[in-house]
Amino acid sequence: MGIKEIDLIDPKKLPCHIAIIMDGNGRWAQKRGLPRIAGHWAGAEALRSIVEFCAELKIKVLTVYAFSTENWKRPYEEVKTILNLLVYYLKKEVDNLNRNNIKLMVTGDWQELPYRIREEIKKSVELTSNNTGLILNVALNYGSRREIVKACKTISRLVDNGRLKPEEIDEKLFEKYLFTAGLPDPDLLIRPSGELRLSNFLLWQIAYSELWFCDTYWPDFKKEHLVQALLDFQRRERRFGGLTK
């Protein structure tokens, strides 16, 4: 593995937007007899090298699922530690992001998070806002159904106060009210850890994404896995409902 396979990647056929469901942290830790939170720490480390690799490849957007609207169902201690860790990570990574010209974006209902966390997020986003390379989009307190309902509410209000006609609502307009407004749809969605489901992630946006699964737990997910995903992606034929040329 390594150099050879990387060299097989066709730079002209890279996905513009990669989305990753960073799953398997808890099981990674349990397998080692460690507390689940150790898995979340290891997961944050795994993210760093994948982010840097995506920047190197000149991928435009990397969206990572870090905390879902359903993850609040977990024990309070785990939720608290995950959120603190995420904020610690975002803060600590700012220099590294700037060095690599990476722009941070946070997607989801993060405005609902505690004040201290919101302030830290705003600061990190602001400090990387002039970067022009990879967009690292972190989905935090994100839920796709909630995102879609929210968009419907905003659009209904516009109709209600006469600023929009129902006939004017189309897919393009609808997308403007999603958290991902302005971003291209993911071309490739990756879920490690052996789970074959979407868990409420980007349901609208992945209508035509290529899906790629592997059994590796996220903390063990390396550049090599991404290379494999990219090579598989480049071998696939995307028809978008049309026919092969």
Catalog residues that contact ligand IPE under the rule CB under 6 A. Answer: 21-27, 65-68, 71, 82, 193, 195, 197, 199
Neighbour count for residue 6 (Cβ, 10 Å): 16
26 belongs to an annotated ligand binding site: yes
71, 84, 98, 200: which is the annotated catalytic residue?
A: 71
CB of 181 to Mg ion, least distance (A): 28
Q: Quick check: 183 and 135 in contact, CB under 8 A? A: yes
The string over 199-221, giving b where at least 16 C-beta atoms fall within 10 Å of a residue's C-beta and e elsewhere, is: ebbbebbbeebbebbbebbbbbb
100 belongs to an annotated ligand binding site: no
Strands 188-191 and 210-213: parallel
Tell me which amino acid residue 216 is: T
Q: Which is closer to ligand IPE, CB of 66 or CB of 230?
A: 66
Residue number of the CB atom closest to Mg ion: 23
Among 212, 152, 210, 221, smallest CA distance to 16 is for 210
197 binds, among ligand IPE, Mg ion, none (CB under 5 to 8 A by kind): ligand IPE
From 4-12, 20-28, 48-56, 59-67, give the range in contact with Mg ion by CB under 5 A: 20-28
> Which one of 19, 23, 113, 128 is in contact with Mg ion (CB under 5 A)?
23
* The residue to which tokens 């393009």 are assigned: 172
Binding residues: 23-28, 36, 40, 68-70, 72, 74, 191, 197-199, 210
Name the residues annotated as catalytic.
23, 71
